[in-house]
Structure 1
Amino acid sequence: MTKFIEKLNTINQKIDNRIVQEQVDEINKIVETVAKKQVLMQAPCRLGLYPDEIEEIAKDNDSNSVRIINNMLNSVRQFLSLKFGIWSLPNLTTAKLIKQEFKVETCVEIMAGNAYWTKALNEVGIQTIATDSLEWAKTSSTGQNQIFNVENLNAADAIKKYNKVDLILCAWSPNFGKSDLEVIDTWRKYNPQARLLFIGEKNGATNSPEFWKLTHFKKTPELAKINQSFISYDFIDEKIFEVDEL
């Protein structure tokens, strides 16, 4: 994956198609922004080609090149995880809506990884502290690529320590174990007045099966508005979920 962008641009030069060109331009913008430790203004456009688009583009181009570049367009999230240690792409529009719609001023991000969401929330005026156990960073090549300073705290201890914040945020909790359910229990005990948000894919790439089965989520106009600004750019149906107090 180290030469992903170079290969993507090389193949793009061989393919004469506006749709492909626009998507490659979008990826170059994403990578340039992340590399500078900046935040996108809005969510990326859709990446990847529909079957009818592949068929149409292949009429005037080498079909193998079209297949390869489509696979690469669909692999951007994986590339970002390997290159920068991030799975979720925040944007300032969504971050602003979280502040405006939920009326929050302070936040703690738990399981923050390299703290990209903390960076975004701070950019829009939410005083946010990033926390993580940092166990993953010991074996990951991206463990030293923090976008924002991360305090070494596991999720439960972070909730206990920062029990006066308005918002608790967790993006891409692991899809195994029970850490996400433990977060909910700790939140209810130490800071139930805070909003608790999880970012991920229901019954998919993030959070445990038990989490999706047992947890009740709020469905509000405010959250719907926020999610309208956070449309997933790939085949993963990433959304923002708010845990109900029930």
Structure 2
Amino acid sequence: MDRPCSQLLHQLHQVIMAYTQKQLPNVILSNLEINAQDLIRLIANNEFLTQASIFEKTTYINQLAHFLENFRQYIQKRFGIWAMINQPMMDQWVQQFPQQRYLEIMAGNASLSAALAQRDQKVIATDNGSWAAWSQTSRNCWFPVQKLDARQAVQKYGAESDVILLAWSPDGDPIDWQILQLIRQLPNQPQFWIIGEYQGATNSALFWQRAHFKYDQRIHNINQYYPHFDLVKDRLLMVR
């Protein structure tokens, strides 16, 4: 098989195997988008499906392109993971911000909290479990999750947290703006970090309109290990 294509498939296999074992992948995914030149090079490769006809090769390539295009959706459906963080990113995270006290709200299966706890960070993960109604993956938590909705969690633990985390808040749901208002009222003024796509696949329009974003070189350094691999351009953001 074409070497770049083979390397890409190996990366995807590593990601799937890691998530199957409730671990973050140790690989930073390459761009999964395939262009016309990639397809032409693959079809013309004499080592690619040597016994197959042009029709069979084309069918295979179409199936491959479809899988790559929908890889994020496959991971979401099979593992309940939306923020596809990785080991190098989390290593950089705790290097840039050592010894923080984290509260994760709407944590889902808590893969982010688990990664922080494995790196000796103090973490409380919370979620009201509402997503269990449409995803069986909610039964496979990576880390203990307290059953609290986002507002309850901020009211209970916000005052003792350095950072409140929210990864992939649902698109169009104003809960993110409600939470930001609660956080702004806390006397200890914890930081609010989100993982999301600006005015894209995550969060509400009201949140994007009302939130103030703070540039921090350390956050930028973390995002260098969280590059975009498909059409979604999510990243770690510091919000005020």
TM, length-normalised to structure 1: 0.87
Three-state SS of the structure 2 residue aligned to 1:142 is helix
Query: Is the CA contact 1:159–1:187 (under 8 Å) kept in the aligned structure 2?
Result: yes
Three-state SS of the structure 2 residue aligned to 1:130 is strand
Query: Is the CA contact 2:103–2:164 (under 8 Å) kept in the aligned structure 1?
Result: yes
Query: Is the CA contact 2:109–2:138 (under 8 Å) kept in the aligned structure 1?
Result: yes
Query: Is the CA contact 2:107–2:167 (under 8 Å) kept in the aligned structure 1?
Result: yes
Counterpart amino acid of residue 78 in structure 1: Q
Aligned residue number for residue 235 of structure 1? 231
1:54-73 to 2 correspondences below 5 Å: 54-60=39-45, 62-73=57-68
Query: Is the CA contact 2:170–2:203 (under 8 Å) kept in the aligned structure 1?
Result: yes
Deviation of the 1:179 alpha carbon? 0.4
Aligned residue number for residue 108 of structure 1? 103
Counterpart amino acid of residue 149 in structure 1: P
Aligned residue number for residue 173 of structure 2? 177
Overall identity of the aligned pairs, in %: 29
Aligned residue number for residue 79 of structure 2? 84
Aligned residue number for residue 54 of structure 2? none
Three-state SS of the structure 2 residue aligned to 1:193 is coil
Query: Is the CA contact 1:104–1:166 (under 8 Å) kept in the aligned structure 2?
Result: no
Query: Is the CA contact 2:15–2:27 (under 8 Å) kept in the aligned structure 1?
Result: no
Counterparts of 2:185 and 2:84, CA distance in 1: 30
Q: 1:32 aligns with which of 17, 22, 34?
A: 17
Q: What's the CA shift string for 1:8-62, capped at 9, x where partnerless?
A: xxxxxxxx21122111111111111111111223532322323321232233462
Query: Is the CA contact 2:192–2:238 (under 8 Å) kept in the aligned structure 1?
Result: yes
Q: 2:211 aligns with which of 208, 211, 215?
A: 215
Query: Is the CA contact 1:106–1:128 (under 8 Å) kept in the aligned structure 2?
Result: yes
Aligned residue number for residue 151 of structure 2? 156
Counterparts of 2:187 and 2:94, CA distance in 1: 19
Query: Is the CA contact 1:111–1:170 (under 8 Å) kept in the aligned structure 2?
Result: yes
Counterparts of 2:96 and 2:4, CA distance in 1: 34
Q: Give unmatched runs, 5+ long, in structure 1.
A: 1-15
Counterparts of 1:196 and 1:168, CA distance in 2: 5
Aligned residue number for residue 35 of structure 2? 50
* Alignment root-mean-square deviation, CA: 1.7
Greater Cα radius of gyration, structure 1 or 2: 2
**Poorly superposed stretches of 4+, deviation over 4 Å:** none
Counterpart amino acid of residue 31 in structure 1: I
Aligned residue number for residue 130 of structure 2? 135
